[in-house]
Structure 1
Amino acid sequence: MAGSQETSDVHDLRSALARLREHPGHLLETDHPVDPIAELAGVYKRVGAGGTVERPTRTGPAMIFNNVEGFEDARVLVGLMADRDRVGLLLEASPRELTQRMARAVKDAISPVEVGPAKALCQQVVHRADDPGFDLRKLLPAPTNTEQDAGPYFCLGLVLSSDPEGKKGTDVTIHRLCVQNKDELTIFFAPGWHIDAFRKIAEGQGKPLAVSVNMGLDPAIHIGACFEAPTTPYGYDELAIAGGLRGRPVELVDCVTQPEKSIAAAEVVIEGEILPDVRAAEDQNTHTGHAMPEFPGYNGPANPALPVLKVTAVTTRTDPILQTLVGPGEEHVSLAGIPTEASIYNACEAAMPGFVTEVFAHRSGGGKFLAIMKVRKTNAFDDGRVRQAALVAFGVYSELKNVIMVDEDVDVFDTDDVLWAMQTRMQGNRDVIAIPGVSGHVLDPSQTPGYDPTLPAKGTTSKTIYDATAPYHLRDEFERAHFHEVDPHPYAPDLFPEPDGGQGGGPDGDGDGRTDSGRDSSQTRVKRSHHD
């Protein structure tokens, strides 16, 4: 696979889709009509959402819906990164090596560059909010995930903004954006997000904060934007990580109506400003009491007072593709989890080189709550370093809730193997360590004083280390039974079409040791020109 400094032929969303078309089973295109309100997500729940989505669901292809009801020329893409195998194809790494690939990109970061109007593909079509008849709701088919959603959402809107005081540069973050009327969105900020700090500075000055919302991007941009502090501290421009992944800088252009930048190759850009001292209920139009299903798998409560983003323009490429995701699906696991893995891996490598060899942010925690870490013990002192590594992980990623530590002979990507280690190499009274009263994540419904009255506030939790490693002095008693290595190809050629040379299996890409046999390999070709 290419190194992090090799220029890739994937440079925007369309080139990413072109790559997937070369790999059967990873992209399904349909002309069957679909309603963006609940139906589109309902279809993808069955086709390929995965993650913490209500069962039945599965790992499957990304989907392009070419016939979105109520939108004559709109296309919607969902699930681009809802499969670890597919992320590997798009980022040029094996599924098992994505952690290290992302870890190198942080070290090899390349800052974005500004380019002129000639390269502003995102501005091939411009809709100004002050034009008669402008209505965001008729321009872009923002979907809802469920019938209880507060409203239509842009779920993969990468918000770009800059420090109003000019001290901390530019930041990019994916935010929950609910469409409220023809030119207004509400925007949700989790505690500590850097663009919210920019907003508060501007609001303190009585000024709006200029932003661009960028959608339909090179997947390297979206996944690079999901790193968090301390890996990317306040003032760090995460677009530089995408530059490190691709070996070339992300290109930015001046917005049409705002003193801000947008991503030149984006399919869709919403330009606007976050208004000072203006708040709105997230479900003001529906009164459902719910926001949308988030990564833990629950419909969270609608926020009664969120900042308001006033839209001043929508700019697009010709025949644009609107990109979305299913909130609790496997795509969130990829977007949040792989940067989590890389952050933990880099921090542990700096603290104790060579000790932590693999990290997997498991789908059951949405890529945020659960990490499985493999360690290499070489002496008795390493028994203590196991728990030290877990503490490093908690320190580098504040939203992490549980860590399972395993030995070198356990496959971190195979849930059954991890659970086996927990059953045979762990005693609850000595190997489970709870750390109470630590900051966590507000979207976990168990992290509330109502669930646990000892918690001081919502988003505070007890963090847990599960040490499922064998004690070093007893290592011989915990050696697994070894089988004779045989090439299975002659005996089962349909299952093993190529001799594996006795190498054994690696992760298949779905993160739990399953095969791809359930993936739909069909591809319905679109019938009209897309000007791609």
Structure 2
Amino acid sequence: MSNQPWDLRKVLDELKEIPDQYHETDVEVDPEAELSGVFRYIGAGGTVERPTKEGPAMMFNKIKGFPGARVSIGTMASRRRVGQILHSDWKTLGRHLKEAVENPVKPVKVSKNEAPVQEVVHLATDADFDIRKLIPAPTNTPDDAGPYITMGLVLGSDPEKTMSDVTIHRMVLEDKDTIGMYIMPGGRHIGAFQKMFEAKNEPMPVTINIGLDPAIYIGATFEPPTTPLGYNELWCAGALRQEPVQTVDGVAVNEVGLARAEYVIEAEILPNTTMQEDINTNTGYAMPEFPGYNGAANPAVNVLKVKAVTHRKDRPIMQTTIGPSEEHVSMAGIPTEASILELTDKAIPGHVLNVYNPPAGGGKLMTIMQVKKFSVNDEGIQRQAAILALSAFKELKTVILVDEDVDIFDMNDVVWTLNTRFQGDQDVIVIPGMRNHPLDPSERPEYDPKSIRVRGMSSKTILDGTYPYDMKEVFKRAPFMKVEDWEKYLK
């Protein structure tokens, strides 16, 4: 393994050594819809329109209109691959991330000559400056509002520089120095900081960091209560690598960027200013989002004015993803699993063995919980676990409970338990009128006028597929002989 600090290039070098996990092509591809359209067939997975499948991470070496730049997609579009990237068992990644949050390693600042991302500098004051010609940001579909930065890690601080944070937002390139950014209401710390600047009627300096070690992206998607205001998720990424993330002072704004990124966009969020997200297309759509549908264009996204773009000199890598792909599941789902485990381990220790947020819920809307009952007195503890999960993550909509003998990563096994250890009139628990995620198209008053008063409300559902402990003899699976050396028959 290379002794250089962790970054995207080091990860890709490792993947190249693992069969079937990486593929690159020199065939020219158009970043406008074609690139994502190609990867849809090869390896997007998730809830992307069929046909799709789990496949290798891809590098497109020849991007139409962007000589010298490359585009990477799908690095995390496989849970098994994420396990390889993080050098951890893919089935226990939730616990691995939980331990990282509990043992933070804070970033370190390096000098500009130690920051590869500042090898090339473009200032907005340059006569030919145009972010649309500098950043090979793809569109996912022909209906997109424009080229989108889908894996841009936004780093910002409060006005007094006492706290900083990183989050991922959808960002569309609107013109040569303007980006429209959707900050989802509530919960995001960048949004909280931005409101502080807005109260002072001052622009908020931020950096948008693109082309990163996947450990940074996965760590960055934690949300409260696991990482409360004041906890910078870069600390989690440092713990995952046992190596601090390197930052560097910006060249044009009073904020730091990630020194080993491929691109950094330095910008300011304008106070009390919004714009129509699809102002250039008027399609009514933004881009495909994680539930599997085209997201509606927002009439009033925040406006960022770009001050500079810096990048590596040697063929910089634009990193992108497809909204409803398996990659989103990895980035959003694994930290959610860690958050649920963190809460249940404290409240009901020993009972929740493992948690999985599957692609069917985009990593956010559904969780499968493997629960152990030790005696008849534990009956009901499984439903307590489900309520804890729903309280830990407000965007969670459906919880499926299974016993310890069920493989939570095999949907056939999960659905089997809902057919043989489940009765609809006994084992469905519905909690109406709760908050959820506004990108779920069913969460609107016209769909359910009884319990949904405003967009983004939902009924939460618990499906209890665990058997009653006092009937466990009835639910023993058919026993097969244990054969330790079975693999010899495949040689």
Shorter-chain TM-score bucket reads over 0.9
Note the C-alpha offset of 1:165.
Answer: 3.8
1:115-143, Cα deviation, whole Å (9 max, x unpaired) = 22232111010000110100111111110
Note the C-alpha offset of 1:9.
Answer: 6.8
Of the three residues 453, 456, 474, the one matched with 2:471 is 474
Corresponding position: 1:456 with 2:450: no
- SS of the aligned residue for 1:283 comes to coil
Partner Cα distance (1:8, 1:189) in 2: 37
Partner Cα distance (2:180, 2:77) in 1: 26
Identity within the alignment, %: 54
Q: Assess, with a 3 A threshold, how the Cα gap between structure 1 residues 8 and 473 changes in structure 2: closer, same or farther.
A: farther
Corresponding position: 1:403 with 2:407: no
Partner Cα distance (1:490, 1:340) in 2: 39
1:167-197, Cα deviation, whole Å (9 max, x unpaired) = 5x00100110000000100000112111111
Corresponding position: 1:180 with 2:174: yes
Corresponding position: 1:378 with 2:374: yes
Alignment of 1:304-343 (within 5 A): 304-318=299-313, 319-343=315-339
Of the three residues 361, 367, 377, the one matched with 1:365 is 361
Aligned match of 2:137: 142
- SS of the aligned residue for 1:491 comes to helix
- Indicate if the aligned counterparts of 1:223 and 1:339 stay in contact, CA closer than 8 A: yes
- Indicate if the aligned counterparts of 1:356 and 1:373 stay in contact, CA closer than 8 A: yes
Aligned match of 2:184: 190
Partner Cα distance (1:226, 1:465) in 2: 24
Note the C-alpha offset of 1:103.
Answer: 1.1
Which amino acid letter does the alignment assign opposite residue 396 of structure 2? L
Partner Cα distance (2:103, 2:474) in 1: 43
Which amino acid letter does the alignment assign opposite residue 459 of structure 2? S
TM-score with structure 1 length normalisation? Answer: 0.90
Note the C-alpha offset of 1:86.
Answer: 0.8
Partner Cα distance (1:36, 1:322) in 2: 11
Note the C-alpha offset of 1:10.
Answer: 6.5
Alignment of 1:31-180 (within 5 A): 31-167=26-162, 169-180=163-174
Listed as ranges, the gaps of 5+ residues in structure 1 are 1-6, 494-532
Of the three residues 261, 264, 289, the one matched with 1:266 is 261
Aligned match of 2:490: 492
- SS of the aligned residue for 2:375 comes to coil
Which amino acid letter does the alignment assign opposite residue 466 of structure 1? L
Note the C-alpha offset of 1:222.
Answer: 0.5
Aligned match of 1:4: none
- SS of the aligned residue for 1:279 comes to strand
Which amino acid letter does the alignment assign opposite residue 240 of structure 1? W
Which amino acid letter does the alignment assign opposite residue 341 of structure 2? Y
Aligned match of 2:201: 206
Aligned match of 1:3: none
Note the C-alpha offset of 1:23.
Answer: 0.2
Q: Following TM superposition, where does structure 1 have runs of at least 4 consecutive aligned residues deviating by more than 6 angstroms?
A: 7-10
- Indicate if the aligned counterparts of 1:10 and 1:16 stay in contact, CA closer than 8 A: no
Deviates more, 1:478-487 or 1:299-308: 478-487
1:435-476, Cα deviation, whole Å (9 max, x unpaired) = 111110010001111211121211110001111000000001
Alignment of 1:481-520 (within 5 A): 481-486=478-483, 487-493=485-491
Deviates more, 1:461-470 or 1:96-105: 96-105
Of the three residues 209, 228, 237, the one matched with 1:233 is 228
Corresponding position: 1:428 with 2:424: yes
Partner Cα distance (1:413, 1:202) in 2: 44
Deviates more, 1:483-492 or 1:193-202: 483-492
Partner Cα distance (1:81, 1:485) in 2: 35
Partner Cα distance (2:383, 2:399) in 1: 10
Q: Assess, with a 3 A threshold, how the Cα gap between structure 1 residues 155 and 189 changes in structure 2: closer, same or farther.
A: same
Which amino acid letter does the alignment assign opposite residue 160 of structure 1? L
Partner Cα distance (2:409, 2:58) in 1: 25
- SS of the aligned residue for 2:490 comes to coil
- SS of the aligned residue for 1:25 comes to coil
Partner Cα distance (2:259, 2:408) in 1: 38
- SS of the aligned residue for 2:487 comes to coil
Aligned residues: 486
Deviates more, 1:78-87 or 1:479-488: 479-488
- SS of the aligned residue for 1:253 comes to strand
Note the C-alpha offset of 1:490.
Answer: 4.0
Partner Cα distance (1:9, 1:427) in 2: 56
- SS of the aligned residue for 1:161 comes to strand
- Indicate if the aligned counterparts of 1:8 and 1:246 stay in contact, CA closer than 8 A: no
- Indicate if the aligned counterparts of 1:10 and 1:90 stay in contact, CA closer than 8 A: no
Which amino acid letter does the alignment assign opposite residue 293 of structure 2? Y
Of the three residues 387, 393, 398, the one matched with 2:389 is 393
Partner Cα distance (2:61, 2:446) in 1: 45
- SS of the aligned residue for 2:489 comes to coil
Partner Cα distance (1:131, 1:340) in 2: 43
Aligned match of 1:23: 18
Which amino acid letter does the alignment assign opposite residue 190 of structure 1? M
Which amino acid letter does the alignment assign opposite residue 486 of structure 2? P
Deviates more, 1:97-106 or 1:282-291: 97-106
Note the C-alpha offset of 1:53.
Answer: 0.3
- SS of the aligned residue for 2:251 comes to coil
- Which fold has the larger relative contact order, with Cα–Cα distance below 8 Å and residues 6 or more apart in sequence? 1
- Indicate if the aligned counterparts of 1:10 and 1:218 stay in contact, CA closer than 8 A: no
Which amino acid letter does the alignment assign opposite residue 183 of structure 2? F
Note the C-alpha offset of 1:278.
Answer: 1.6
Question: Over aligned residues, Cα RMSD in angstroms?
Answer: 1.2
1:203-223, Cα deviation, whole Å (9 max, x unpaired) = 111110000000001111110
- Indicate if the aligned counterparts of 1:434 and 1:464 stay in contact, CA closer than 8 A: yes
- SS of the aligned residue for 1:310 comes to strand
Listed as ranges, the gaps of 5+ residues in structure 2 are none
Which amino acid letter does the alignment assign opposite residue 155 of structure 1? T
- Indicate if the aligned counterparts of 1:53 and 1:297 stay in contact, CA closer than 8 A: yes
Note the C-alpha offset of 1:354.
Answer: 1.1
TM-score with structure 2 length normalisation? Answer: 0.97
